[in-house]
Structure 1
Amino acid sequence: MAGPVRSVPPPPGVYVPAVLFYNDNDDLDLPAIKQHILRLAEGGVTGILVQGSNGEAQHLSHEERKQAIRFTRDTLDENGYKHVFIIAGSGALSTKETKKLCHDAKEAGATHVLVLTPSLWPPQMTVENITHFFHEVADASPLPVMIYNFPTVCSGIDLDSDLLIKLGSHPNIVGTKLSCGNIGKLNRITSAYPSSQFATYAGKSDIFVLGLLANSAGTIAALPNIAPKVHVHAYKLVQEGKTAEALELQSFLGRADWAITKIGGIAGVKAIVTAHFGYGEPTVRGPLRTKVWANLVTDKHTEVIEELVRMEKSM
């Protein structure tokens, strides 16, 4: 007797966890969000992650999360980008809420969901409990599930390759985003599964090309918010077998990725985008603190970011 039909991962490529913009009333700034979505799509990204960590998912209400997904889908469809995929961040601290967010994502137009490990009670998150959580969510989700491994935002919980490979055997668990940045872990997973069955994405630009050379499906990383074209170019270089050129670009992306973490993460990304691409305000929701590019220009890490912006604009 045949087993359950496996769900399909998103296709290989460059995905971006898009930042959101807010207006003076702390509501979603839809015109600015639209400009950002279209710049990313025009830059050639394969898909957009709505409500990744860079999308401030945990700072949004359920209705705002649905609104952001639907608005992103409508913006893409209305402007000739129906082929661009939408992954929705659907992580929450309880199994019940996570399942609800998966259903909300389906209703709003996403094709896949990305789920964080619950982290309110780290001592209780044993291998058994984590496995049970992801199996219960995947059984209930109307969309294929991807596992989001990001120890920084999960109280240090870091899923190892043995667990991720085990979870990948579930027919509705189709991939992972490795924001742990562990290239050895990535390689072990890609050795266990082809990307057509379980897609492993580098969660940081500093291992993007290295991941591709280890058979990853691509990247889902913050830096393409600033430079989608540069990342798509790096991806194409690898596909064309231009490894030396790709590795040279990877060296630069590694420095730029490090710089953005030092400049200020989400707040830094917004400050750069608003200053250099002319839309939105750099506002973030508390307890994060807003940063303004004019106050960052003396930082020693800004030189590489300005070089990245020049490279992006030249493509």
Structure 2
Amino acid sequence: MSSDAAARIPPKGVFVPTPTFFHPETKEAGVLQSKLDVDTQIKHSIFLAKAGITGLVLLGSTGEAIHLNRSERFDLVSGVRKGLDDAGFPDYPIMAGVLTNGIDETIEWLQDYARAGAQWGLVLVPGYFGAGASQDNIVEWYNIIAETSPIPILVYNYPGVTNQVLIQPETYIKLAAHPKIVGCKMSHGNVSHHVQVSLDPEIDHDNFRVYSGFGQQLGPIVFFGAAGVIDGMAAFYPKTVVRLMALAEKGEINAETKAEIHRLQFVVSRAEEFVVRYGLIGIKEAVFRVTGLGIQGSGRLPVKGSLSDSEWEKGRSLFLASIEEIEASL
């Protein structure tokens, strides 16, 4: 693979779909919602980079891209890019989420992200019409986007927000054939699909990377050829997930390493139950309580709020106590 091609393909590892940070609400006349907090976004990005996280996904579903306007999306991505550069992380991998269905608007988002400094666009499946989006039409849609986009793209399959549209394993063969479609994120629980696409001999796996949106799938899918995870829980406990990824990538493992992989996968999977239970609000709450970054309860309607002290302690004791101890040791 040439150096140009290598630069075009996202690296293997752990990416974090970062939450978007907002200032406290204000009573300022004409201001309808909390303003974007780019400074805190930069601080959180640097925190993750220093912890060994491979790269970021800005403005994905966790990042509330649908709640930001065009200028805000540009300011956030360009601000993080400059902040990382200034902190000594030049060319740090950044994917930016595209959560819209129209071809023209999708290209507009990608053009903005390219100008802002993102290397890849993570483009959500156009599932507004559900089953009306046939597999063949999805392939044609992505090919048009990829052909026109100034940056390479990844396919983002999240059935939970796209009327349960599920891209089939055989469809990925067609998508991966396009030189500017360089990977996918599968945010669903079908491990078989991850494994099939990661191992399919008809796909050039040097040029098409498979990521799961769930850290609880990391070990099983990476062992069978996947590139890694784009994991929300790693936004607040990154080092444990990074360590698990490093061990899972090893081709040959001894008994001691296998035992550590089992231990880490257990605590990661248990911690992911916190995200399953509390969702985006839980991720933001955990980032605030664990890292001290952000404003408790910040967000934009209809997704804003916080956990009470008692609910936080309940979730922490049930799901996070074990990973908290390991994270502190790394």
Please state which band the TM-score falls in when normalised by the shorter chain: over 0.9
Offset of residue 62 of structure 1: 1.0
Are 1:249 and 2:264 counterparts?
A: yes
Mark the CA change 1:301 to 1:276 in structure 2 (over 3 Å): closer, same or farther. Answer: closer
Alpha-carbon distance, 1:275 to partner: 1.5
Q: Which stretch of the first structure deviates more once superposed, 67-76 or 114-123?
A: 114-123
Distance of 1:160 and 1:247 partners within structure 2: 30
Find the counterpart in structure 2 of residue 110 from structure 1: 118
- For the residues of structure 1 that align with 2:7 and 2:100, how far apart are their CA atoms? 22
The residue type paired with residue 37 of structure 1 is S
Contact residue 223 and residue 249 of structure 2 kept, 8 A: no
2:272 aligned partner, one-letter code: D
2:42 to 34, 47, 51: 34
- Residue 279 (structure 1) aligned with residue 287 (structure 2): no
Secondary structure of residue in 2 paired with 1:52: coil
Partner amino acid, structure 1, of 2:81: R
Q: Is the 8 A contact 1:145 1:175 kept in 2?
A: yes
Distance 1:6 1:83 in 2: 13
SS at match of 2:154: strand
Matched, 1:63 2:78: no
Deviation of 1:149 after TM superposition, in Å, equals: 0.7
What is aligned with 2:31? none
1:222 paired residue number: 232
Show the counterpart of 1:309: 324
Q: What is the rounded CA distance, in whole Å, between the counterparts of 1:276 and 1:197 in structure 2?
A: 36
**Per-residue Cα deviation, 1:132-179 (whole angstroms, up to 9, x for no partner):** 211110110111110001101111111111112221111111100111
Q: Would the alpha carbon gap of residues 293 and 43 (structure 1) be closer, same or farther in structure 2, given more than 3 Å must change? A: farther
Distance 1:216-1:298 versus aligned 2 partners, 3 A rule = same
AA aligned opposite 2:187: S
The residue type paired with residue 234 of structure 2 is: P
CA deviation map 1:94-121 (0-9, x unaligned): 1111111111110000001100012222
Aligned to 1:14: 14
8 A contact 2:219–2:265 mirrored in 1: yes
Q: Mark the CA change 1:125 to 1:39 in structure 2 (over 3 Å): closer, same or farther.
A: same
The offset of 1:244, in angstroms, is: 3.4
Give, in whole Å, the separation in 1 of the partners of 2:126 and 2:329: 42
Range 63-72 or range 293-302, more displaced: 293-302
Structure-2 residue corresponding to 1:125: 133
Q: Which moved more, 1:24-33 or 1:136-145?
A: 24-33
Aligned AA (2:309): A
Judging changes above 3 Å, is the alpha-carbon distance between structure 1 residues 52 and 235 closer, same or farther for their aligned structure 2 residues?
same
One of 86, 99, 106 as aligned partner of 2:107: 99
CA contact (8 A) 1:296 1:302 kept: no
Do the aligned residues in 1 keep the contact of 2:198 with 2:224 (CA within 8 Å)? Answer: yes
Give the whole-Å Cα distance in 2 for the aligned partners of 1:298 and 1:77: 37
Shift of 1:308: 2.3
The CA deviation string for residues 58-114 of structure 1, in whole angstroms up to 9 with x for no partner, is 111111111111111111100011142001112312111111111111000000110
User: Which residue in 2 is equivalent to 1:155?
Assistant: 163
Structure 2 stretches lacking a partner, 5+ long = 26-33
Is the CA contact 1:87–1:111 (under 8 Å) kept in the aligned structure 2? yes
Contact 2:131 2:165 in 1 (8 A): no
Q: One-letter code of the match for 2:288?
A: T
CA distance in 2, matches of 1:218, 1:76: 22
Q: Partner of 2:312 in structure 1? A: 297
* 1:203 counterpart residue number: 213
CA distance in 2, matches of 1:298, 1:72: 32
Is the 1:7–1:172 Cα contact (8 Å) retained in structure 2? Answer: no
Give the TM-score taking structure 2 as reference length: 0.89
Measure, in 1, the Cα distance between the counterparts of 2:306 and 2:93.
30
Two-structure CA RMSD over aligned residues (Å): 1.8
Question: Could you give the per-residue CA deviations for residues 164-199 of structure 1, whole angstroms, max 9, x where no partner exists?
Answer: 222111111110011113211111111123532110
CA contact (8 A) 1:52 1:88 kept: yes
Moved >6 Å (runs of 4+): none
Cross-structure match for 1:172: 180
1:261 aligns with 2:269: no
Distance 1:33 1:300, change over 3 A: closer
State the SS of the aligned residue for 2:62.
Answer: helix
Whether the aligned pair in 2 keeps the contact of 1:275 and 1:293 (CA below 8 Å) is no
Higher mean alpha-carbon deviation, 106-115 vs 88-97, is at 88-97
Letter in 2 for 1:19: P
**TM-score, normalisation: structure 1:** 0.93
Provide the identity percentage.
Answer: 29
Q: Higher mean Cα deviation, 238-247 or 124-133?
A: 238-247
Cα distance, 1:298 vs. partner? 4.9
Contact 1:18/1:50, CA 8 A, preserved across alignment: yes
